[in-house]
Amino acid sequence: MSTGHSEKPPGDAGLIQAVREGSTDAYGELYERHVGAARSLARYLCPSPSEADDAVSEAFAKMLQVLQDGGGPDEAFRAYLLRSLRNKVYDRARRDKKISFTDDLESQAPAEPFVDTAEAELERSLAARAFQQLPERWQTVLWHTAVEDQSPSDVATILGTSPNNVTSLAYRAREGLRQAYLDCY
């Protein structure tokens, strides 16, 4: 009689380590797991599908080189990849902009910090989507501890539990939110 035991596929951390040890198959698995998220982000950021495809290819090629050189993430491959992709797209956009030079600097407005409203909106929408995916109890504890800035003892009264349980629950909820956020990419 067969036990039916199936081996759980390795997580990103295991695959990253395998890539650093020379496994191209492990990188292929990372690619398959995360290419969809990279394509989605690239289509959002790039003006054309061909530029999006180029950006995704470049980001994955760069990640492979970084991992083979021993750098890069130890666990959060997707977050690192997407940040690298975003930086690549922004660097290309800055490089491709036409630059006009002037001798009259006084007539120019003082420099203001650049705020990428598209990126900020994407971050907000992903965070909101991730928050909505959490169990209600986690949403409650995160809301009261992070947004309302209430103490664990105040939240314990609301949830009918102890402050120590609130602290533990808040930790698990933050970790759950982090993972849900990464999964939204």
What are the tens digits of pLDDT across the range 21-34? 999 999 999 999 99
Model pTM score: 0.51
What are the tens digits of pLDDT across the range 118-148? 788 888 888 889 999 999 999 999 999 998 9
What pLDDT does 103 receive? Answer: 59
For all residues of the chain together, what is the average pLDDT? 85
* pLDDT bucket at 75, cuts 50 / 70 / 90: confident
What are the tens digits of pLDDT across the range 87-110? 888 888 787 775 555 555 555 555
* Long-range pairs for 53-59: beta carbons < 8 A, 24 or more residues apart: 55/85, 55/88, 55/89, 55/92, 56/85, 58/88, 59/84, 59/85, 59/88
Looking at the chain, the whole-number percentage of residues with pLDDT higher than 90 is: 50
